């Protein structure tokens, strides 16, 4: 397949320039001011659009195995492609959890049949029970580079310490869902005067902060790298920034709902606004947004968490936590950055280059199932690209999402910035903002 992207703005790590981009046999073969159309090439008019590396999601719940009525690897990959992603990291909190070679192999095989690259995060502990370590070395041999018990944090400091010590020589990174379980027990929204007024028990910001504090000390002790998932409070972001300034090997991500929605949305008792960690106070939302703009976080991660309608449509305190994310993360990130003057390089750093480094997807090296993501748009690179139109607007219609689930908190909202085309391994998978 030969594709010619005509006259877009190529977004590099530091510089931008207007160019044509020629793609053939899975690779970018030429980037130049003007390229003549080769015979048989598909031409995409990218005028007014940004051309950059395809997005990489560090945090996708694909629900396979165990909850295929909500999502499958195949349907989640379609949702990701429409959202501009060329690679996803599948979270291991499936039923059963991805804590062994057989299950990881199964999801990787499903991923190879999907329309984009699917990497897997393995569980840190057996059954995600937080007690005995899972066989991380065996999973690492399959190409797993991230491990997490996401859905829950590893509660035992001793288990987390051993996990970091075990992971370090494997060259893999652990990732933590930061909520201290005894502080959040029974809670369904942010703990605040509002939760008291609504009669809902709270999950305090403190629960996130104490686990971040503990884990920073464990990183200091072990020297093992750690990634903090979906940080939601100004205090924890400040702690991670200070630790990084000291030279500790820590990274963090933020999720779009934590910089676009605050706890006030729970006033409606609408379970679409229930998520863990919960939507926070307006001042925390402002702090997350500042981190996004000013560099205090490494990645935007969707935390795409599909739930079948019959499961999500319960009373607020009984409904499962989580919301869809893949199909609107880029627009929400664009809008949040745009408020202070759009920065195209920062946009691609947060959605592609940063997460690709954290997930070790920058090179395909020893993992033949993955191509390289998050690079520059340059000749010789694997052709994993997105064409993003910063001028387009679109309305979120739950009935038109590619995900099997419908639990978006943004239904009816008009968003600015739209993915026009997604190219994965040199193949056009999304064109004119729809699946090919």
177 binds Zn ion per the rule CB under 5 A:
yes
Residue 24, classified by CB atoms within 10 Å of its CB into exposed (0-12), middle (13-18) or buried (19+), is middle
Nearer to Zn ion, 81 or 91 (CB): 91
Least distance in Å: CB of 151 to Zn ion?
Answer: 6
Residues identified as active-site: 303
Least distance in Å: CB of 345 to Zn ion?
Answer: 28
Nearer to Zn ion, 177 or 370 (CB): 177
CB-CB contact of 87 with 47 (8 Å): no
Stretch that binds Zn ion, among 69-77, 150-158, 245-253, 267-275 (CB under 5 A): 150-158
Least distance in Å: CB of 134 to Zn ion?
Answer: 17
DSSP string of 297-356, one letter each residue: -SEE---B----HHHHSS-TTTSPP-B--TTTHHHHHHHHHHTT---HHHHHIIIIIHHH
Q: If we measure between CA atoms, which residue out of 361, 357, 381 comes closest to residue 370? A: 361
Quick one: tokens of 332?
């929400």
CB-CB contact of 420 with 50 (8 Å): no
Nearer to Zn ion, 150 or 381 (CB): 150
Nearer to Zn ion, 322 or 426 (CB): 322
CB-CB contact of 175 with 146 (8 Å): yes
78 binds Zn ion per the rule CB under 5 A:
no
Least distance in Å: CB of 47 to Zn ion?
Answer: 39
CB-CB contact of 276 with 321 (8 Å): yes
Least distance in Å: CB of 184 to Zn ion?
Answer: 12
Quick one: tokens of 289?
């947004």
Site for Zn ion in 219-278 (CB under 5 A): none
128 binds Zn ion per the rule CB under 5 A:
no
Stretch that binds Zn ion, among 62-70, 174-182, 252-260, 361-369 (CB under 5 A): 174-182
Residue with the CB atom nearest Zn ion in the bound state: 177
Binding Zn ion (rule: CB under 5 A), the pick from 150, 208, 381, 389 is 150
**Which residues contact Zn ion (rule: CB under 5 A)?**
150, 177
């Amino acid at each position: 397949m030969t594709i010619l992207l005509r006259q877009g703005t190529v977004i590099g790590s530091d510089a931008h320039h207007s160019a044509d981009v020629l793609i053939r046999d899975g690779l970018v073969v030429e980037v130049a001011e003007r390229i003549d159309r080769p015979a048989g090439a598909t031409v995409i008019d990218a005028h007014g659009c940004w051309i950059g590396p395809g997005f990489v999601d560090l945090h996708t719940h694909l629900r396979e195995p165990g909850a295929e009525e909500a999502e499958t690897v195949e349907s989640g990959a379609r949702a990701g492609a429409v959202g501009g992603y060329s690679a996803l990291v599948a979270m291991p909190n499936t039923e059963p959890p991805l804590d062994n070679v057989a299950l990881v192999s199964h999801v990787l095989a499903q991923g190879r049949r999907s329309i984009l690259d699917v990497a897997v995060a393995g569980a840190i502990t057996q059954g995600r029970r937080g007690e005995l370590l899972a066989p991380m070395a065996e999973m690492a041999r399959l190409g797993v580079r991230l491990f997490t018990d996401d859905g829950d944090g590893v509660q035992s400091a001793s288990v987390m310490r051993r996990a970091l010590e075990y992971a370090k020589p494997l060259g893999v990174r652990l990732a933590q869902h930061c909520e201290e379980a005894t502080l959040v027990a029974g809670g369904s929204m942010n703990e605040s005067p509002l939760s008291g007024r609504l009669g809902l028990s709270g999950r305090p910001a403190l629960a996130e902060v104490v686990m971040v504090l503990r884990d920073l000390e464990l990183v200091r002790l072990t020297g093992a790298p750690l990634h903090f998932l979906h940080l939601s409070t100004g205090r924890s972001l400040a702690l991670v920034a200070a630790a990084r300034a000291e030279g500790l090997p820590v990274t963090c991500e933020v999720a779009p709902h934590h910089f676009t929605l605050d706890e006030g949305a729970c006033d409606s008792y609408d379970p679409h606004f229930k998520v863990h960690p919960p939507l926070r106070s307006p001042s925390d939302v402002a702090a997350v947004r500042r981190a996004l703009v000013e560099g205090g976080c490494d990645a935007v991660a969707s935390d795409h968490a599909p739930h079948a309608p019959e499961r999500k449509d319960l009373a607020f305190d009984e409904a499962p936590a989580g919301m869809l994310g893949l199909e609107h993360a880029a627009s929400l990130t664009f809008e949040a950055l745009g408020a202070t003057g759009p920065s195209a390089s920062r946009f691609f750093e947060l959605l592609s280059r940063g997460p690709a480094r954290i997930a070790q997807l920058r090179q395909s090296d020893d993992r033949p199932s993955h191509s390289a993501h998050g690079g520059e748009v340059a000749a010789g690179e694997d052709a994993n690209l997105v064409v993003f139109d910063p001028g387009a607007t679109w309305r979120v219609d739950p009935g038109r999402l590619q995900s099997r689930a419908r639990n978006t908190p943004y239904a009816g909202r008009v968003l600015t910035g739209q993915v026009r085309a997604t190219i994965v391994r040199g193949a056009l998978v999304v064109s004119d903002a729809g699946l090919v």
